[in-house]
Every structure is written in C-alpha cells, then in structure tokens.
Amino acid sequence: MRTAKQPEKVNYHSKNLITERNIRKKIKDGLFKLRALVPKISKMDITAILTDAIEYIGNLQEEEMNLSNELKKTEEGDWKEQCGTEVCEVRLAT
C-alpha cells in the first residue's frame, strides 16, 4: 500500500523574527558598551548593569556639582584678593 506524499515544509523565516533578533543584538551590544564604560558592575545581568550605570551617573553628577562649587569659591576668592574694594564685591554679587 502506498502512502500519500506529504508536501515538503518550506523554511520560512518571519520578518518579525529577524527584526526581533536584530533588536536583541543591538540591545546586547549596547549593554556590552555600557558595561565597558561603568567601572564597577556588581553582576552581569541586565538589571544590575543598568542599576550600576544609573548609580555611577548620579555619582558623576554629584562630583561635577562639587567641583563646580569649588571652582566658584576659588574664583570669588581670587577676585577679592585682587580688588579688595567694594566695587569688586558688587561685581561678584551680580
């Protein structure tokens, strides 16, 4: 007895599947770059990388603010040393 031939399956890759694969690859590459930039990464999972990066950026912003304030104080001190008059103090106030 003969059996009916079954049609061969066509290897069809969905466009969405390929698009999703490309998106995952971009995310993975971005995480590798981020991991390389942040000095202290506690774990290698996505959540830890992002959490550590956010904390690191916060620390950088705080350090930048401290340095900016220190620079302002230094510049104000230099003006006062140079002038020593009320005119310079008025300039600093404005």
Tokens at 16, concatenated: 């969405």
Q: In angstroms, how far is CA 32 from the centroid of its own chain?
A: 12
Kindly tell me if the per-residue pLDDT of 65 is higher than 90.
yes
> Residue 15's pLDDT band (boundaries 50, 70, 90)?
confident
Ordered DSSP codes for 35-87: HHHSS--S-SSHHHHHHHHHHHHHHHHHHHHHHHHHHHHHHHHHHHHHH-SHH
DSSP state of 4: P
Is CATH 1.20.5 correct for 15-83?
no
What is the chain's mean pLDDT, rounded? 81
> Residue 77's pLDDT band (boundaries 50, 70, 90)?
confident
Residue 4 pLDDT: 62
